[in-house]
Structure 1
Amino acid sequence: MSTSNFSSARQRMLDRIAQTRDAVTVGLPHWAGTEDGKWISTPDGDWTGGAFVGELWLAHLADPRRFPISDAHAALARMLPRAQRRTAFKGFGFYHGAALGSILFGDETARDAALTAARSLEEMFDPQLGLIPLGQDAEEASAVGTAESSIDSLQATGLLYWAADQLSDSHMEEVANAHMRRVLEIHVRPDDSVIQSSTLDPQTARVLRTHTHKGYSDVSTWGRAQAWAMLYTAHAAMVRPEEPLWREYAVRVLNWWIDHVPAALIAYWDFDDPAIPTSNRDTAATAIAAAASLRLASALGPSGGAKYRDFAERTVTQLVSGYLTPVGPDDQRPPGMLTGGCFTRKAVARDIDTAHDAELIFGSYYLFESLVILTGLVSAGRI
């Protein structure tokens, strides 16, 4: 797909962001129905809402008159209660929803919110376990023990690395490194696929069991588990180039994805679902994969990263051409929706996470972020 086509897709997504901003004035968007584009929202953003705030920061970069910075401030204010919640997942929301505003615009309101969340994550670190447990406020479909972990908890690391740089805080750096290393040791399997979740012994830190909480089975490879591993190892490789271990992990888990994703490049919700090829795809996991590939391409440089830049471009092309709603009278849906997102098909999911074919706000964020990078508005190395 040409740069002009990526620019056209970016414009469609800007239209959707504007429509979402005007429609969701209380709470933050979570997912939208494919048929009508109407959002299911959450009061404080749940774990996903920071993605929409991140879209607003990037939209301000793309079109500051249409998207004044006050849009991002208003949305960020709705998620501030989450800053002190005991959940490793807030790293996702406060990186994209707050740190991004500081990175791109030097915004002090955003910086303060991001640092508050980062300090709280640092305090959650359990030295005995060697990681940040999911936490009592983590959004999971069943009770979370004091020593539960998951690959998803790597969402803490991007925010911690940023905050460590902002504060010149060596302890925060150590926490980020220890958490990253331990979570990867537990959840990346010898064949480079990823198991989502784990239960640890709180006294000995021994891994009692691993399982896939939101995937097809306890031993399957849930698409988004692999995608999170890809994103956060690639991000760490980009922001911590002096640590070769993060690059090694990123290459391993990304290569696994490239070798196992279907020829059309849109992943199924779980790589091991026996209903494939009639099972659900997951465009959200696929968009995360594209964003991860752009980060790894940045980390490896023009020569070593060319493979991953090309893969990201081809993946984004497939998402845009097959799943991004068009502009025109023949389609009554809002333009710029990334359809085909699958939260999970597990029966134990929370009611608000039962969508099988929807626009997921975090999937839309990562596609929009990828388009912003591919159209040259910002480099992957900055965000």
Structure 2
Amino acid sequence: MSQSASSAAAREPLRRAEEILARPRPDRAKLDAILAAVLARIDASLDLFTEAFPRPSSEGGVYAPMDNTEWTNGFWTGMLWLAFEASGQSRYRLAAERQVESFRDRIEREVNVDHHDLGFLYSLSCVAAWKLTGSMSGREAALAAARRLMTRYLPAAGIIQAWGDLSDPEQAGRMIIDCNLNLPLLYWASEETGDPAFRIAADSHIAQAGKHIVRPDASTFHTFYMDPNTGEAVGGKTHQGFSDSSCWARGQAWGVSGFPLVHRYKADPALIELAARLANYFLNRLPDDLICCWDLVFTNAPHERDSSAAAIAACGLLELARALPLADPDRETYEAAALAMVETLGERYLLPLGQPGTGILAHGVYHMPNRVGVDEACIWGDYFFLEALVRLTRVWEPYW
């Protein structure tokens, strides 16, 4: 990634660093108690969600079961692998392995795979299976998914098109900030196969995301269009945010998390500095409890919080802190903010233990403009909350 205007600019100074650093930090016993509460909720739904998967968002706090057809199905399987690592209990591994076979079947039959979210689907299910158990079935399914993802790479624009048929003029040349977390699948595939084409595509996309999706003030567009034939920049818009000029909170969280995850494969300091700029923008626009509203143009009630974006951001801040030098002036604040977010989510946003299918985090937002999954559990929020807890309680190697 070159030193573009976006990556080279100075960070916005953190406005509440002293306050965040002064907050009491949860000890290991408190984090373990929150983790145990999450595992209890997974246990309550394990029978329901072994052959089936949760819907992307809940209704009344309860996920309905569905087949393996959505972009979100990998998050539940990822939670099973996290639960297995955190507890050592074989029941989670056995359920996850059943689902890995479902993912292999899905890619072989090409069930709803014409989109960029194959990383969300296959990194958390099949790459995890390969890393944790040496599953050849998982490895082959993940490589097939990576090859499928490569069909969406547009060389002239240097991006992976997000959605839709590649011939659809309404979707042509569209990239979105979420794709940062799909790129690790390509980097992993390049390492596994020795084929540089996967890495070249991922390197190109992350550079374009840093150049075009990130605005000069370190806020982000949700989506940005490139001309697929000439590679010229067309312009940015929102899809799930408040407006084209606002900053969708979950999108900003994808950026805070995604640039540092790519840095694990592409050791470019510009990626980390860019993530720090995004993190400071995010942290400077949070309510008092540090749980973001659904769009960062809003900073307090009555606007709906998005616990799922907060969980993603907590993981991103921990990943960012890991990559920064110890002497970085904001590093400790990032760690303290992530701890405070996780503690608040565990104390104030945890849904009561209930019937099978009950979600974990309340007050999430899927798609506010369409009024879908508003003030509900969102399966990615549940996943990233558990990932943050695992990051905070043990040495963990990401599935990404």
TM-score (norm 2): 0.84
- How far is 1:153 from its partner? 2.1
Instruction: Give the partner amino acid of 2:249.
Output: G
1:346 equivalenced with 2:374 (yes/no): no
1:243 equivalenced with 2:268 (yes/no): yes
Structure 1, unaligned runs of 5 or more: none
Instruction: Identify which of structures 1 and 2 has the higher relative contact order when contacts are C-alpha pairs closer than 8 Å and 6+ apart.
Output: 2
1:214 equivalenced with 2:232 (yes/no): no
Q: Distance between the aligned counterparts of 1:48 and 1:336, measured in 2?
A: 14
- How far is 1:301 from its partner? 5.0
Check the 8 A contact 2:351/2:361 in 1, yes or no. yes
Q: Distance between the aligned counterparts of 2:187 and 2:62, measured in 1?
A: 36
Identity %: 29
Check the 8 A contact 1:90/1:155 in 2, yes or no. no
1:319 equivalenced with 2:336 (yes/no): no
1:61 equivalenced with 2:85 (yes/no): yes
1:154 equivalenced with 2:147 (yes/no): no
Check the 8 A contact 2:63/2:358 in 1, yes or no. no
Q: 2:128 aligns with which of 94, 100, 105?
A: 100
Check the 8 A contact 1:294/1:380 in 2, yes or no. no
Q: Distance between the aligned counterparts of 1:335 and 1:356, measured in 2?
A: 16
Partner of residue 75, structure 2:
51
Q: 2:336 aligns with which of 307, 310, 313?
A: 310
1:366 equivalenced with 2:366 (yes/no): no
Check the 8 A contact 2:256/2:278 in 1, yes or no. yes
Q: Distance between the aligned counterparts of 2:308 and 2:218, measured in 1?
A: 21
TM-score (norm 1): 0.88
Cα distance change, pair 137–25 in 1 and its aligned pair in 2 (3 A): farther
Secondary structure of 2:252's counterpart equals: helix
Partner of residue 232, structure 1:
258
Check the 8 A contact 1:238/1:296 in 2, yes or no. no
Partner of residue 95, structure 2:
71
Check the 8 A contact 2:45/2:357 in 1, yes or no. no
Instruction: Give the partner amino acid of 2:361.
Output: L
Secondary structure of 1:214's counterpart equals: coil
Secondary structure of 1:149's counterpart equals: strand
- How far is 1:50 from its partner? 0.2
Q: Distance between the aligned counterparts of 2:248 and 2:44, measured in 1?
A: 31
1:19 equivalenced with 2:44 (yes/no): yes
Q: Distance between the aligned counterparts of 2:181 and 2:399, measured in 1?
A: 17
Q: Distance between the aligned counterparts of 1:209 and 1:301, measured in 2?
A: 35
Q: Distance between the aligned counterparts of 1:219 and 1:295, measured in 2?
A: 28
Q: Distance between the aligned counterparts of 1:382 and 1:93, measured in 2?
A: 11
RMSD of aligned residue pairs (Cα, Å): 2.5
Deviations 1:253-288 (A, max 9, x none): 1121112222211000111249x5201100000000
Cα distance change, pair 66–38 in 1 and its aligned pair in 2 (3 A): farther
Cα distance change, pair 2–22 in 1 and its aligned pair in 2 (3 A): same
Q: Distance between the aligned counterparts of 2:284 and 2:387, measured in 1?
A: 24
Deviations 1:71-109 (A, max 9, x none): 112123333455352211111111112212222333322
| 4+ residue segments displaced more than 6 Å | 331-336
Secondary structure of 1:67's counterpart equals: helix
Check the 8 A contact 2:59/2:373 in 1, yes or no. no
Q: Distance between the aligned counterparts of 1:29 and 1:167, measured in 2?
A: 32
Deviations 1:149-198 (A, max 9, x none): 21122232121122222223222111110011112211100000011012
Cα distance change, pair 26–215 in 1 and its aligned pair in 2 (3 A): same
Cα distance change, pair 82–207 in 1 and its aligned pair in 2 (3 A): farther
Partner of residue 292, structure 2:
267
Check the 8 A contact 1:151/1:184 in 2, yes or no. no
Structure 2, unaligned runs of 5 or more: 1-25
Check the 8 A contact 2:116/2:162 in 1, yes or no. yes
- How far is 1:137 from its partner? 6.2
Partner of residue 279, structure 1:
303
Q: Distance between the aligned counterparts of 1:177 and 1:298, measured in 2?
A: 21
Q: Distance between the aligned counterparts of 2:142 and 2:150, measured in 1?
A: 12
- How far is 1:68 from its partner? 4.4
Range with bigger deviation, 219-228 or 201-210: 201-210
- How far is 1:303 from its partner? 4.5
- How far is 1:27 from its partner? 3.3
- How far is 1:321 from its partner? 1.1
Instruction: Give the partner amino acid of 1:247.
Output: I
Q: Distance between the aligned counterparts of 1:95 and 1:182, measured in 2?
A: 22
Query: What is the aligned residue count?
Result: 368
1:200 equivalenced with 2:217 (yes/no): no
Partner of residue 373, structure 2:
355
Instruction: Give the partner amino acid of 2:139.
Output: R
Q: Distance between the aligned counterparts of 2:292 and 2:303, measured in 1?
A: 10
